[in-house]
Amino acid sequence: MNRWLWWAPLVLLITGLAVWGFRLGWIAATITETDVITTYAKRYLEAAGPGAALSDCVAYPGRDRGVWLVVRCGPDPSGSGGRYEYHVNRLGGLVASGGLSTRGAPAGRAAMPQT
């Protein structure tokens, strides 16, 4: 049996891992906050139904480990009323979903984002 046949699985594994690593790096380098907010605002529109709007959503930096952004959506996303909350990682994946949450804005932060 040829020696190259013994090394072929290792070469395929390394090539596959390299492609996967490049893909994850590409996603992390090109995804923006706007992309994430828009994606989860659309998810909110589907869940909340009529009367919901894209402008009902705001985002705050994540405070937990592995959470990049917290997207909060609702009629008054910064107030104490009910709203949807999505915790998103750096690759845009959903880490945790608060569903309908009634917690207030993060402690020590302004109720609305300052720009």
Per-position DSSP letters for 61-107, written without gaps between them? E--STT--EEEEESSSTTSSS-EEEEEE-TTS-EEEEEEEE---SPT
Question: What is the pLDDT, as a whole number, of residue 33?
Answer: 92
Instruction: Please state the domain extents for the chain.
Output: 1-30, 32-101
Tell me the pLDDT tens digit for each residue of 29-45. 888 999 999 999 999 98
pLDDT value for 74 = 85
Please state the pTM of the whole predicted model.
0.68
| pLDDT (0 to 100) of residue 49 | 81
CATH of domain 32-101: 3.30.505
47-103 pLDDT per residue, tens: 888 888 888 899 999 998 999 999 999 876 555 556 889 999 998 899 988 766 544
* pLDDT for residue 112: 40
pLDDT-derived band at 106 (thresholds 50, 70, 90) equals very low
3-state SS assignment for residue 14: helix
Confidence band, pLDDT 50/70/90 cuts, at residue 19: very high
Rounded Cα–Cα distance for residues 95 and 11 (Å): 33
Please tell me the predicted confidence (pLDDT) of residue 30: 86
